């Protein structure tokens, strides 16, 4: 029998669509197993401020379809200090919370890894990030929704680009990872995709455009914000200078990529992982993230999830695919 009686749940770092579905799953699974469940507001900041709210089945009613997170999220520098974490631990003990489920990305898991080892405190993580940049899960919660948001937006840009014979440079999120750019770029039929992993500079990009098919009315170049060539505006300026014959426009999609109602894929992923995380905790698992690999639930130590990018996710064959399809 597990000694866990009261579970705390929080969302931390950058928000992603589907976090609410994950909260709902963890809350409902806790109630199913006759456990108390306590919401921690604003991530690790709420641990340090003891900002706790009791949760029940009703507190997660009608949220599965909502973007954002009802528990709020924050970035919390105090949690990076020993004093901050000591206070967080004291608040958990005082409130008789004996395990945590944390939903977030690599920063959240870095903090959870330190905390769980420091205080021998049970923690399981759920991958909540639009970037899909965690090792130990094929997809993160929010990624599917984010790439569909990009596809919907760029389809609209394509309409106007086609009407005016324009070249559009569209910047999408992904500071360290080009996965959003890669998938959405393929989805919109982009003429080129610039991602940090591929290291295609502006000269090579223009060589491709110049030697590509001449009869294309519009051209869409998708750029990940972390690409070495610089942001979309920098690339746009360089291109305007060197290739004045093109009518070039820049569009930075920005925060719309984080919001919106989660896709069914993200809702189901969040629901499965949420229940698995709770049951994993009861089986004594800790310091791990619940993920989905080849359709199976797997638990991966936090320290292995945060290598920033799963190198397997961007293979040369993906890049070849982009090249073939942009002919």
CA nearest 162: which of 121, 209, 215? 215
Residue 116 marked as a ligand binder = no
Q: Is 46 within any annotated ligand binding site?
A: no
Whether residue 42 is annotated as binding a ligand: the answer is no
CB of 83 to ligand ADP, least distance (A): 12
**b/e 167-190 (16+ beta carbons within 10 angstroms → b):** bbbbbbbbeebbbbbbbbbbbbeb
Is 8 or 111 the residue whose CB approaches ligand ADP more closely?
A: 111
Taking a C-beta distance cutoff of 8 angstroms, is the pair 129, 143 a contact?
yes
3: left (phi over 0), alpha (psi -120 to 50) or beta: alpha
The reply to whether 130 sits in an annotated binding site is yes
Which residue's beta carbon is nearest to the bound ligand ADP? 107
Q: CB of 262 within 8 A of CB of 67?
A: yes
The answer to whether 125 is annotated as binding is no
Give 125 or 280: the residue with its C-beta nearer to ligand ADP. 125
Query: Whose Cβ is closer to ligand ADP: residue 78's or residue 202's?
Result: 78
CB of 326 to ligand ADP, least distance (A): 32
* Spatial distance between the Cα atoms of 257 and 93, rounded to a whole number of angstroms: 37
Answer for the pair 198, 166: CB distance below 8 angstroms, yes or no. Answer: no
> Which residue, 106 or 287, is less far from ligand ADP as judged by CB?
106
**Measured CA distances, 197 to 23, 230, 233 (Å):** 33, 14, 20
Q: CB-wise, 88 or 229, nearer to ligand ADP?
A: 88
190 is known to lie in a ligand binding site: yes
* 17 versus 236: smaller Cβ distance to ligand ADP: 17
Name the active-site residue from 131, 133, 227, 287: 131
Least distance (Å) from ligand ADP to the CB of residue 117?
11
Give min distance, CB of 204 to ligand ADP, in A.
31
**In the complex, which residues of this chain contact ligand ADP (CB under 6 A)?**
12-14, 44, 75-76, 79-80, 104-108, 110-111, 114, 129
304 assigned binding-site residue: no
Nearest approach, Cβ of residue 76 and ligand ADP (Å): 4
Could you tell me which residues come within 8 angstroms of residue 218 by beta carbon, excluding any fewer than 6 positions away? 158, 161, 162, 164, 165, 166, 167, 168
In the numeric block, the tokens 């021998």 are attached to: 120
In the complex, the smallest distance separating the C-beta of residue 318 from ligand ADP, rounded to whole angstroms, is 23
What is the rounded distance in angstroms from the CA atom of residue 254 to the CA atom of residue 231? 12
Structure tokens at 300: 């991966």
Residue 216, phi then psi, degrees to nearest 5: -80, 125
Q: Which phi and psi (to 5°) does residue 176 adopt?
A: -110, -10
Is 131 among the residues known to form the active site? yes
Annotated binding site: 14, 24-28, 75-76, 105-108, 129-131, 158, 166, 173-175, 189-191, 216-218, 225, 249, 255-258
Annotated binding site for Mg(2+): 106
**Residues forming the active site:** 131
Annotated binding site for substrate: 129-131, 166, 173-175, 225, 249, 255-258
């Amino acid at each position: 029998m597990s000694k866990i009686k009261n579970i705390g749940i929080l969302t931390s770092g950058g928000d992603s669509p589907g976090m609410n579905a994950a909260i709902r799953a963890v809350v409902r699974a806790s109630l199913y197993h006759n456990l108390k469940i306590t919401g921690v507001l604003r991530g690790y900041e709420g641990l340090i401020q003891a900002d706790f709210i009791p949760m029940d089945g009703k507190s997660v009613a009608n949220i599965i379809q909502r973007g954002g997170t009802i528990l709020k999220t924050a970035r919390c520098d105090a949690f990076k200090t020993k004093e901050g974490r000591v206070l967080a631990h004291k608040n958990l003990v005082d409130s008789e919370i004996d395990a945590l489920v944390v939903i977030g990305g690599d920063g959240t898991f870095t903090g959870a890894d330190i905390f769980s080892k420091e205080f021998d405190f049970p923690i399981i993580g759920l991958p909540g990030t639009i970037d899909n940049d965690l090792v130990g899960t094929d997809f993160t919660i929010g990624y599917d929704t984010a790439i569909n948001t990009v596809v919907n937006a760029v389809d609209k840009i394509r309409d106007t680009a086609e009407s005016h014979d324009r070249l559009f440079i569209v910047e999408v999120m992904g500071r360290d990872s080009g996965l959003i750019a890669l998938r959405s770029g393929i989805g919109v039929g982009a003429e080129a995709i610039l991602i940090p992993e591929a290291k295609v500079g502006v000269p090579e990009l223009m060589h491709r455009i110049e030697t590509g098919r001449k009869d294309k009315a519009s051209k869409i170049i998708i750029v990940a914000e972390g690409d070495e060539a610089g942001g979309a505006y920098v690339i746009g300026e360089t291109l305007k200078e060197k290739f004045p014959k093109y009518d070039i426009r820049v569009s930075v999609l920005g925060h719309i990529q984080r919001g919106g109602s989660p896709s069914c894929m993200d809702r189901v992923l969040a629901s499965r992982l949420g229940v698995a995380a709770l049951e994993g905790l009861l089986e004594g698992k800790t310091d791990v993230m619940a993920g989905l690999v080849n359709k199976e639930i797997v638990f991966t130590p936090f320290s292995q999830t945060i290598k920033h990018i799963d190198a397997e996710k961007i293979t040369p064959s993906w890049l070849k695919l982009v090249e073939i399809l942009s002919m």
